[in-house]
Structure 1
């Protein structure tokens, strides 16, 4: 897996105008939607440099438990951090603010030095900054991250362009949901627990890797839905 860069969406390489493929197309989107939901709810959006067909196969095979899925993706991203984490993000640096680029570079350094705790709030802040454009159409006041993504999905209909947005939408439902801080501490990454300093236990390397991956997919989606990223 190390260093491999792939074109996603191969499982949906069908011709829309061919009526014989319409049923298969519908089945493909249904399968993808369920898998994207399952993965995102565990904190793992599909990596934009990894083929979605392989992602679906992996998620279906690793159905024995959350720990196995966590181990697979943690091992994958750590196997070649330069190419699996840094490169998919850095390729879009020209389109994001200097502050966020610097923040990301400092997160890379922190992660590689084992400083995982500081990465999580910094990456949540980065993610929100990037979602301002993708979800909010540059509105920096009225935040509507999840609803903004859903509106774009509705507008685009069943096309490959909705797949990264679908994965992001399910991830935001999980990671940005509000919860009662007096309840048992969540095992999942959560913006509110992080940004309000409510975590009690230390987070593992899994949490920043999940957020790096989400950042990469948001950056990819911004270009992809505009037709600026070609397969």
Structure 2
């Protein structure tokens, strides 16, 4: 039963150790044949909690805590504290999320909450924030980026598998620019698949917004961040006679108006990150249907 202790410690410190929860939950799941069913349920409930923390709805988050609290283990455990939703004030969430999106970073299902929702980002320059997210994906020999590609391949349409593999290889080789138009096509295709629409471009994003309005209680920070990124940047209408926008723009790229010399590796990484966000939204859609 010692293998459960890291999980129990992580639950008590979930805000500081979000990534530890995921790792330990996965580790316990792998050895579930050797521990009691109740322990396995604790691991799965813990993993679910890390997902629920990304839902902007106090009832949904409290339900996740209550689920864990209801699991009975033959262990001497402290009572689980009542969750104070005020720490996750919606205005604060939106302010930080909108700021991160202004730099092109959306929230994924595998990204630690305490990495994405940092108040200090509000006072940081864009390139400083870029460095934080680049480091997240590239540290330890690109372990998080490789995990992202693996998870996206498992969660999105199989037809994109080869493009995703090649995108990873090209990124690691420093030849990321060729992946950018392809990844934009994947994003648009997956968005249309998730919301079941035959529309494209800005009209597709508008339909995405309408779908979010219809399911307010299931809205996630991830869904909000994706919508803001699409509406205000990637799919934004921008006249071809005007100056280039700071972030990538779907119309300018796919219609041959953009200048590839301006594309950077963080642009390719942002698109891969966005695909991971869509994968997370797709998981929620499947779970709720």
Pairwise mapping of residues 98-177 of structure 1 onto structure 2 (< 5 A)? 98-135=158-195, 137=196, 139-141=197-199, 144-159=203-218, 161-173=219-231, 174-177=233-236
What TM-score, normalized by structure 2, do the two folds share? 0.66
SS of alignment partner, residue 181 of structure 1: coil
Unaligned runs of 5+ in 2: 1-18, 23-49, 63-81
**TM-aligned CA distance change 1:188 to 1:222, over 3 Å:** same
The reply to whether residue 54 of structure 1 matches residue 97 of structure 2 is: no
Kept in 2, the 8 Å contact 1:10–1:53? The answer is no
Per-residue CA deviation, residues 199-223 of structure 1 (Å, 9 max, x unaligned), is 2333111100000000011011101
Q: Write the distance in 1 (CA, Å) between the matches of 2:111 and 2:145.
A: 11
Instruction: Note if contact 1:176-1:192 (Cα within 8 Å) is conserved in structure 2.
Output: yes
CA RMSD of aligned residues (A): 3.0
> Could you list the runs of 5+ residues in structure 1 that have no partner in the other structure?
none
Change over 3 Å in CA distance of 1:65–1:9 after alignment to 2: farther
Q: What is the CA deviation profile of residues 35-85 of structure 1, one whole-angstrom value per residue up to 9, with x for unaligned ones?
A: 22221121111232122243111x534623111111211222222465322
Structure 1 window deviating more from structure 2 (205-214 vs 76-85): it is 76-85
What is the aligned residue count? 219
Query: By how many angstroms is 1:225 displaced?
Result: 3.0
DSSP-derived class of the 2:287 partner: coil
* Rounded Cα–Cα distance in structure 2 between residues aligned with 1:94 and 1:204: 27
CA shift, 1:94, in A, is 4.3
Q: Secondary structure at the match of 2:189?
A: helix
Structure-1 residue corresponding to 2:96: 35
Q: Secondary structure at the residue paired with 1:104? A: helix
Conserved 8 A contact 1:44-1:210: yes
Q: Higher Cα Rg: structure 1 or 2?
A: 2
Higher helix residue share: 2
For residue 13 of structure 1, report the CA deviation from its aligned partner: 8.4
Matches within 5 A, 1:201-220: 201-220=261-280
Superposed CA deviations along residues 113-149 of structure 1, whole A, max 9, x for unmatched, are: 11121111011011011111223x1x33566432232
Change (3 A) 1:53 1:95: closer
Contact 1:62 1:68 in 2 (8 A): no
Specify the SS of the correspondent of 1:91.
Answer: helix
CA contact (8 A) 2:96 2:121 kept: no
Residue in structure 2 matching 1:10, options 44, 53, 56: 53
Q: SS state of the match for residue 105, structure 1?
A: helix
Residue equivalent to 2:128? 68
Q: Deviations over 1:11-48 (max 9, x none)?
A: 76844698xx9x94696222212222221121111232
Secondary structure of the residue that 1:226 maps to in structure 2? helix
